[in-house]
Homo-oligomer: A and B are copies of this chain.
Amino acid sequence: MLSNWKILNKYREYDARIFTLFKKEVKSEGLNRTGHFYTLEVVDWINVIAIDKAGDVILVKQYRHGTEANSLEVPGGAVDASDTDPLEAAQRELMEETGYTSDKWTLLGKVSANPAIMNNFCYCYVAEECEKTHPTNMDAFEEIEIEKYPQDKFLNLVRIGEIHHSLAVAATGLWKLHLER
């Protein structure tokens, strides 16, 4: 049996807008050791494997400040406090980033962003039979290009690492497992 970890103290160290950094003083009963760990508190996220009526996967390419490079990804974003359900966030983000909407949504699963250092989850959806029904509506700092690929080509882009965002790759894995059920 894994032993219990007790949080003795928790210090709010730094507010970085999209996440807050905490320092925790924790004690492992089993190891009988006390130490400090740093974690980030972050809102939940969503992402979407979006497939249009022709069967193509709709992707977004955008500059990412972490890697300081452009990144080809599945559409995604943050769940807002006003969202009643992560699905609402997924539908909004898909529409805002791509202009596409769908009536056929399935939750593939949720993955923890990084349980070692983050508290949040990313809900992964597939949206089928998407149609372009709206103009895009970017946030102030969003600049996004849309690319569409047949499903086999999309999977190959993941395989060769052209699509490499871990949450996009995780969603792809869940989608593959969903298709094989």
- Partner-B contacts on A (CB < 8 A): 1-3, 5, 7, 13-14, 16-19, 21, 23-24, 26, 28, 30-31, 33, 35, 37-40, 61-71, 73, 109-119, 121-122, 140-141, 143, 145, 155, 158-161, 164-167, 169-170, 172-174, 176-178, 181
Contacts and interface: CB of A to CB of B under 8 A. Distances in A.
Contact of A68 (B7, B71, B172, B177): B7
B161 A177 contact: no
B3 A143 contact: yes
Given A63-B5, A66-B115, A119-B66, A169 B164 contact: no
Contacts of A66: 39-40, 112-119
Contacts of A110: 161, 164
Given A18-B38, A38-B19, A178-B159, A116 B164 contact: no
A159 B177 contact: yes
Q: Mostly helix, strand, loop or mixed at chain A's interface?
A: mixed
B115 A67 contact: yes
A16 B55 CA distance: 45
A108 B75 CA distance: 24
Contact of A143 (B2, B37, B39, B177): B2
Contact of A117 (B18, B121, B122): B18
Contacts of A2: 61-63, 70, 143, 145
A14 B70 CA distance: 26
B143 A31 contact: yes
Contacts of A24: 65
Contacts of A39: 65-66
